[in-house]
DNA sequence: GGTTCTTCATGGTC
DNA sequence: CGACCATGAAGAAC
């Protein structure tokens, strides 16, 4: 991506804060504090004709704007034009299809080669007579049938293990997801337009599957004490069905993975080809595949398991592996074998080594976030005595110059959050003036502009007319005083087809048609798991001046894919009152590209009209710019009222978003026959850019 | 080719 | 909250 990781910060010394703070428009940003909508006013006739029954009326696509993966009902769209193999009941995801058959869902193409990409003598990465792209791989497999060995993945089969309900559920889930994602032939995942898109798709699939498996585990209580590892199971499925990228090990950078990209599971590193071992910290080319018959290190994960030192952003002291008896935890001398040997050889070969740093994820106290920190070279190695008195190998890695800042940026953000240092370029420390649960600062470290045009900050969505029937004194749910649970009889949960649409971390389970949240009509507390989008901002955001697209929005915190970011606040306006000069419009009547490849790749429409103007009053969402390859999408959420014409627009992360990367969503397309909407030139810079937006 | 072995993970429980 | 622990899966090594 084009973000520059703060390298262009104007130093704080160049900013006259006093002058900035006296700028009039911004001093007038008086917040309007959240207030309940007026229930006494008459209902809006604009939406009154829409039947409140069912998630969607007949004929409306339930897949807006994306698909819905739901194991509780079958997809409602007609059969796609291409042949879909009948779902093969997988015995278990652990033993995916051992039977023969062409085109079965279980068929996984996996060539038996184990080519590697190695450095030549000049230090340039070159392919060993083999192009790493999967499309090429598939081509070759088709053209020279037999040369590229097409095999099914064989897994160890545990004998005598009964197939549990959980596994049955997961099997059908996997089948559904593979179909929905059009991954029936595993190769179709690789129809991505570029490396980045491929890596993104792999991660999206993995995370959707992982969250769904978590949900099934929650529902079907597994044996107590049994460690449930949705990450490993989802990862294993991805491996089996070849939903992965950059399978061939290589030295140097990995296509589709940018420096600064973040990951939340070790398996994600594995699936995008950044670091193959599922647990081990050192990845290396085995001696068989390296030029000198010596192993060479390709990547390391520094995650806090050993006594590493990495305080300096450009130097990392990394400990070798081994020396710990895993059963009795006894310490012993480390040996110069495996990863340690590979690092030693890489020191002499002076090849680039990818470094992934495992940092504490402050957003979730239990969690860890892995940050790809770019390429390093090993400068020294030595042996020292560890705390236990045993020998430990140490390696000094130095970051190659000229790469975008990552670790130093993370450290800066931490200091800003602590209040230890001030964010350079701050114009206003909190443009919401306290209307949000967290401050949102306004920053310009590019030029002299002092802020956006005047507007009133509100965190609410205002309907032109209040809710209709206000016999809503009837409680929505009065069952869950400690928060609602999936699978319960809670009416709010039932409206979501029996499942709370969020994980325990508050991450959206999948792309739903419509989310029914609990509300202040319910007895459950505000921290109920079914009230994610009304609990306010959870991450530190900033509004900043972009290079060429006015003001934009980005986050100081890393964002997990599926996380709620904010809703679109403003004033609901009617369709015929839209003003072509209004640049702060959210328009649900436009057509939207599906997030994922679907049988028909046509844009889809949301079945209800909703247009919000945030020109005069709005929240942070009004600063989100358009992009043709966005990292945020929107999702209708119903809360106070069960009438589906009164929904909120919730924004969720499509993928993991590193700190300080601009948040963007797709504004949608306007049909050609509709006048009055100005086209604007799109500057998103994406390879999929359509050139214009509305 | 199968099997063993190793491994800076996880999520739960205490 | 930290220590502990059972369960894991990929891939190198044998």
- In the prediction, which pLDDT does A517 show? 84
Give the mean pLDDT of A542-557: 96
Confidence of residue A455 (pLDDT cuts 50, 70, 90): very high
Percent of chain A predicted with pLDDT > 90: 39
Report the protein residue whose CA lies nearest the C1' of nucleotide B9: A279
User: What's the CA gap between A213 and A365, in Å, rounded?
Assistant: 22
User: What's the CA gap between A468 and A586, in Å, rounded?
Assistant: 23
User: What's the CA gap between A299 and A342, in Å, rounded?
Assistant: 10
Within 7 Å: CB of A638 and strand C?
no
Q: Return the higher-pLDDT residue of A73 and A349.
A: A349
Gyration radius from chain A CA atoms:
27
Give the model confidence (pLDDT) of A33-67 as tens digits. Answer: 333 334 443 333 333 332 323 333 333 333 344 44
User: Is residue A101 over pLDDT 70?
Assistant: no
Confidence of residue A288 (pLDDT cuts 50, 70, 90): confident
* Best CA proximity match to A299, nearest among A335, A343, A337, A266: A343
Confidence of residue A599 (pLDDT cuts 50, 70, 90): low
Confidence of residue A450 (pLDDT cuts 50, 70, 90): very high
- In the prediction, which pLDDT does A475 show? 55
User: What's the CA gap between A348 and A343, in Å, rounded?
Assistant: 9
**Nucleotide of closest approach to A278 (CA, C1'):** C10
DSSP letter for each residue of A113-124: ----EEE-TTS-
User: Is residue A578 over pLDDT 50?
Assistant: yes
Confidence of residue A291 (pLDDT cuts 50, 70, 90): low
Whole-model pTM over 0.75:
yes
Give the model confidence (pLDDT) of A403-421 as tens digits. Answer: 999 999 999 998 999 889 9
- In the prediction, which pLDDT does A147 show? 26
**Nucleotide of closest approach to A334 (CA, C1'):** B6
Q: Å from A499 (CA) to C6 (C1')? A: 29
What's the DSSP call for residue A296? E
User: What's the CA gap between A121 and A117, in Å, rounded?
Assistant: 13
Q: Å from A223 (CA) to C9 (C1')? A: 21
User: What's the CA gap between A645 and A409, in Å, rounded?
Assistant: 43
Per-residue tokens: A120? 């030549």
Confidence of residue A676 (pLDDT cuts 50, 70, 90): low
Average pLDDT, chain A: 74
Q: Return the higher-pLDDT residue of A376 and A470.
A: A376
Give the mean pLDDT of A266-282: 96
Q: Which domains does chain A have, with CATH numbers?
A: 17-30+79-412 (2.30.280.10), 422-694 (2.170.270.10)
Does an H or E element contain A522, and which? none
Q: Is the peptide bond before A682 cis (omega within 30 degrees of 0)?
A: no
Q: Which nucleotides of C are covered by protein (CB under 7 A)?
A: 1, 5-13
Q: Count of alpha carbons within 13 Å of A55, Cβ hemisphere only?
A: 19
User: Is residue A9 over pLDDT 50?
Assistant: no
Give the model confidence (pLDDT) of A343-398 as tens digits. Answer: 999 999 999 999 999 998 877 767 899 999 999 999 999 999 988 888 999 999 99
Confidence of residue A5 (pLDDT cuts 50, 70, 90): very low
Q: Å from A156 (CA) to B1 (C1')? A: 14
* Best CA proximity match to A33, nearest among A433, A524, A323: A433
Does an H or E element contain A284, and which? strand A282-285
- In the prediction, which pLDDT does A328 show? 73
**Nucleotide of closest approach to A94 (CA, C1'):** C9
> Rounded to whole angstroms, what are the CA distances from A463 to A39, A284, A569?
11, 59, 10
Confidence of residue A150 (pLDDT cuts 50, 70, 90): very low
């Amino acid at each position: 991506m084009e973000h520059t990781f703060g390298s262009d910060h104007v130093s704080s010394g160049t900013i006259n804060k006093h002058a900035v703070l006296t700028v009039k428009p911004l001093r007038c940003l008086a917040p309007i504090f959240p207030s309940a909508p007026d229930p006494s006013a008459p209902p809006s006739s604009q939406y009154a004709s829409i039947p409140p029954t069912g998630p969607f009326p007949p004929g409306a696509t339930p897949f807006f704007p994306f698909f819905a993966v739901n194991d509780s009902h079958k997809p409602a769209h007609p059969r796609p034009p291409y042949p879909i193999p009948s779902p093969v009941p997988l015995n278990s995801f652990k033993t995916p299809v051992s039977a023969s058959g062409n085109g079965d869902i279980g068929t996984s193409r996996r060539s038996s080669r184990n080519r590697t990409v190695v450095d030549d003598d000049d230090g340039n990465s070159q392919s060993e007579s083999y192009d790493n792209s999967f499309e090429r791989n598939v081509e070759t497999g088709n053209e020279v049938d037999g040369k590229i060995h097409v095999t099914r993945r064989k897994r160890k089969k545990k004998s005598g293990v009964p197939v549990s309900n959980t596994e049955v559920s997961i099997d059908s889930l996997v089948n559904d997801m593979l179909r929905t994602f059009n991954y029936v032939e595993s190769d179709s995942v690789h129809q991505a337009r570029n490396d980045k898109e491929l890596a993104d798709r792999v991660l999206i699939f993995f995370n959707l599957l992982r969250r769904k498996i978590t949900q099934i585990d929650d529902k079907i209580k597994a044996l107590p004490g049994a460690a449930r590892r949705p990450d490993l199971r989802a990862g294993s499925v991805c491996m089996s069905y070849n939903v992965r990228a950059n399978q061939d090990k290589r030295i140097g950078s990995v296509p589709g993975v940018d420096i600064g990209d973040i990951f939340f599971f070790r398996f994600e590193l594995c699936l995008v080809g950044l670091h193959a071992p599922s647990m081990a910290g050192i990845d290396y080319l085995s001696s068989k595949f390296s030029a000198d018959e010596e192993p060479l290190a390709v990547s390391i994960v520094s995650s806090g398991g050993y006594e590493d030192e990495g305080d300096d952003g450009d130097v990392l002291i990394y400990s070798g592996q081994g020396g710990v008896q895993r059963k009795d935890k006894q310490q012993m001398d480390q040996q110069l074998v495996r990863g340690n040997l590979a690092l030693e050889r890489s020191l002499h070969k002076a090849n680039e080594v990818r470094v992934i740093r495992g940092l504490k994820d402050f957003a979730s106290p239990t969690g860890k976030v892995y940050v790809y920190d770019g390429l390093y070279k090993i400068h020294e190695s030595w042996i020292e005595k560890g705390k236990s008195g045993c020998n430990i190998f140490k390696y000094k890695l130095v970051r190659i110059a000229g790469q975008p800042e990552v670790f130093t940026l993370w450290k800066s953000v931490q200091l800003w959050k602590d209040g230890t240092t001030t964010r350079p370029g701050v114009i206003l420390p909190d443009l919401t003036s306290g209307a949000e649960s967290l401050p949102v600062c306004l920053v310009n470290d590019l030029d002299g502009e002092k802020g956006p045009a005047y507007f009133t900050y509100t965190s609410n969505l205002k309907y032109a007319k209040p809710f209709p029937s206000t016999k809503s004194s009837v409680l929505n749910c009065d069952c869950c005083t400690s928060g609602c649970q999936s699978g319960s009889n809670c009416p709010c949960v039932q409206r979501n087809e029996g499942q709370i649409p969020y994980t325990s971390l508050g991450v959206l389970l999948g792309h739903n048609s419509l989310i029914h949240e609990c509300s202040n009509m319910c007895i459950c507390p505000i921290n109920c798991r079914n009230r994610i989008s009304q609990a306010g901002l959870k991450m530190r955001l900033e509004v900043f001046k972009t290079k060429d697209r006015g003001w934009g929005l980005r986050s100081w915190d890393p964002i997990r894919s599926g996380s709620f970011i904010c809703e679109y606040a403003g004033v609901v306006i009617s369709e015929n009152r839209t003003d072509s000069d209004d640049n702060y419009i959210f328009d649900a009547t436009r057509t939207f590209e599906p997030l994922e490849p679907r049988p028909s790749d046509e844009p889809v429409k949301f079945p209800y009209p909703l247009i919000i103007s945030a020109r005069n009053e709005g929240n942070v969402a009004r600063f989100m710019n358009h992009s043709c390859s966005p990292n945020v999408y929107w999702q209708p959420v119903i809360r106070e009222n069960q009438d589906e014409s009164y929904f909120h627009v919730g924004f969720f992360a499509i993928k993991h978003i590193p700190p300080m990367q601009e948040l963007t969503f797709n504004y949608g397309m306007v049909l050609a026959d509709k006048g009055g909407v100005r086209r604007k030139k799109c500057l998103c810079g994406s390879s999929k850019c359509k050139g214009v937006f509305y």
